[in-house]
Amino acid sequence: MVERETWATRTGFILAAVGSAVGLGNIWRFPFQASEQGGAAFLVVYLLLILAIGFPVMLVEFTVGRRTKRNPIGALKELGTGVWTKVGWIFVVAGFVIMSYYSAVSGWVLQYMVLGLQNDYAVDAAGGQFLATASGLDSVLTHAIFMAAVVVIVAFGIQRGIEMSVKVMVPAIILLLVGLAVYAATLEGATEAYQFYLSPDLSTIAENWTEILPAAAAQAFFTLSLGMGVMITYASYLGEDRNLAEDGAIILGFDTAIAFIVGLIAFPVLQAASIPPGDPGPGAIFISLSAAFGELPFGGIIGAVFFGTVAIAALSSAISITEVVVSYLIDEHGVDRVPATVGLGVAMFAVGLPVAYGASGDLSELIIFDGLANGILLVLGGLLLSIYVGWVGSDFALDELGKGITNIGSWGLTWLWLVRIPVIVILLVVLALNVQGYYQDLTALFAG
């Protein structure tokens, strides 16, 4: 067996995890879910969930990964007995499905970058422009280009591929987004936009909690790359026993700050162009933001910078999703990294073709893939792993968390009890609501 690589530096690990966390989720979903669910009301629930379930579950994944030094399937085979040995499969299947459509959507982002460079954003016909972008051969081509970029990076391995690339990508994302936020602050109407984004209407939360809670929880999971084994896999390459809680807190802080900054860009841009955030849903970022960029002076070039940044963020996430599945093939089947990565890239490209080609013209392929993977598989994976670590394997997990933390005191037990009850209860409720929502979406799609 080949010697397992480790991260060259601690910063490398943190940047890779931040790169994974910051992606389409922060940009494509976040502002629009926020605007759908009453702006700041959503933000409050989201922040609470990040702390109450995101952070503990991230540590659950870290302890499993660092303890076993294996991919998610191998890790659970090593730790668990009986059915627990099978839980890792959910992660690998979720990763495979997510990557297939994530790449298709990232291809659309590339197309919007090019449209900006050509100063071609449609204003009145933005919806039609989006549907044209999101289907047909151009979409298949950009899906292929994006997937190829992912394959090249992952094929180079942990240190020379993932670590080197995130050292460039993550600082670039941060700089570009901060620059765009400064630009957005100069736009007319920025103050009103911030107000909508930042003043919570608590009655909205009380009235709509059955919608806000599952949406915010699924978002908290997706944005932190939880529930599909990325954090297990990345922690499995940790060579030394560092303080997992500290690293987790840094990762979480960056991810949240970046999602927040994106809102500071999106809402003023929309406001300045007098464009309503629009129907949320998969097309929102493309339709309403590109229309807004189409209205503003120099909007083409600024839009190109914005979508270019989104593309970099998507790439730094996509490599982590792919690495989960690649590490499984390497660890469990002894496949070499390069053929494993290339073969998987081709397979994921093929599975994503229906989303990229978009024959339906109404994004139903995307809704079917995303509802299943993001709404159900991620939450289910996170739930089962939390039950396992909280109730079955808690001894090893406490021991692992304690390594590298000099004065853990009662924090270890606090964490464990958070995982044992609140995390599990919330995830159960969210899973039930998401299954129900998915069922409704499917019936609506097939009835219509």
| Near ligand PHE by CB under 6 A: residue from 71, 103, 135, 225 | 225
The binding track of 93-132 with respect to ligand PHE, each residue x by CB under 6 A or -, is -----x----------------------------------
Position among 33, 100, 223, 386 found at the interface with ligand PHE (CB under 6 A): 223
Q: How far is the CB of 317 from ligand PHE (least distance, A)?
A: 4
Residue 272 or 312: the one with the smaller Cβ distance to ligand PHE is 312
Closest approach, Cβ 5 to ligand PHE, in A, equals: 20
The beta strand positions in 252-375, using DSSP E, are none
Whether residue 77 contacts residue 88, with contact meaning beta carbons closer than 8 Å, is answered with yes
Six token digits for residue 396: 């090893």
CA 43 to chain centre: 17
Q: How far apart are CA 6 and CA 69, in angstroms?
A: 10
Smallest distance from the beta carbon of 195 to ligand PHE, in angstroms?
Answer: 26
What is the rounded CA–CA span in Å between residue 197 and residue 214? 20
The residue (of 23 and 299) whose beta carbon lies closer to ligand PHE is 23
Residues within window 8-47 making contact with ligand PHE, judged by CB under 6 A: 20-21, 23-26
Nearest to 29 by CA among 180, 202, 255, 198: 255
The least CB distance from residue 230 to ligand PHE, in Å, is 5
CB 19 within 8 A of CB 169: yes
Question: Within positions 317 to 336, which residues make up the interface with ligand PHE, using CB under 6 A?
Answer: 317, 320-321
Identify residues 333-392 at the interface with ligand PHE (CB under 6 A): none
Looking at the Cβ atoms of 214 and 412, the one nearer to ligand PHE is 214
Q: Write the CB contacts of 226 (distance below 8 Å, at least 6 apart in sequence).
A: 54, 57, 58, 61, 220, 378, 382
Q: Would you say 127 or 281 has its CB closer to ligand PHE?
A: 281
Residue closer to ligand PHE (CB basis): 223 or 290: 223
Nearest-approach distance from CB 221 to ligand PHE, in angstroms: 8
Binding-residue total with ligand PHE (CB under 6 A) = 15
Least Å distance, CB 20 to ligand PHE, is 5
User: At a CB cut-off of 8 Å and minimum separation 6, what does 13 contact?
Assistant: 7, 234, 237, 238, 247
Nearest approach, Cβ of residue 98 and ligand PHE (Å): 6
Output the six-digit token pair for 71.
Answer: 């991919």
Comparison of 42 and 222: residue with beta carbon closer to ligand PHE: 222
DSSP H or E segment with residue 238: none
- Cα–Cα distance list, 223 to 46, 130, 217, 381 (Å): 11, 24, 10, 15
Residue 173, interface with ligand PHE (CB under 6 A)? no
Q: Within 10 Å of residue 372's Cβ, how many Cβ atoms?
A: 19
With CA atoms as reference, report the closest residue to 92 among 66, 64, 73.
73
Distance, CA of 189 to CA of 196 (rounded, Å): 11
Interface with ligand PHE (CB under 6 A), residue from 34, 45, 49, 230: 230
CB of 161 to ligand PHE, least distance (A): 16
- Which residue lies nearer to ligand PHE by CB, 165 or 317? 317
By CB under 6 A, is residue 309 in contact with ligand PHE?
Answer: no
From the list 106, 360, 324, 133, the residue with the least C-alpha distance to 235 is 324
CB of 99 to ligand PHE, least distance (A): 8
Nearer to ligand PHE, 180 or 378 (CB): 378
Q: Of 32, 62, 222, 260, which one interacts with ligand PHE (CB under 6 A)? A: 222
Cα 159 from chain centroid (whole Å)? 22
> Rounded to 5 degrees, what are φ and ψ at 200?
-75, 140
Q: How many Å from the N-terminal Cα to the C-terminal Cα in the chain? A: 53
Question: Segment contacting ligand PHE (CB under 6 A): 201-209, 222-230, 333-341, 439-447?
Answer: 222-230
Cβ closer to ligand PHE: 275 or 366? 366
Determine how many CB atoms are found less than 10 A away from the CB of residue 443. Answer: 10
Segment near ligand PHE (CB under 6 A); pick from 128-136, 299-307, 315-323, 338-346 = 315-323
Considering the complex, state which of residue 222 and residue 328 has its C-beta at the smaller distance from ligand PHE: 222
Smallest gap from residue 402 Cβ to ligand PHE (A): 27
Q: Which two tokens stand for residue 395?
A: 């001894």
* Residue among 90, 31, 53 at smallest CA distance from 221: 53
Helix axes 209-223, 378-387, angle to 10 degrees: 80
Which residues form the interface with ligand PHE (CB under 6 A)? Answer: 20-21, 23-26, 98, 222-223, 225, 228, 230, 317, 320-321
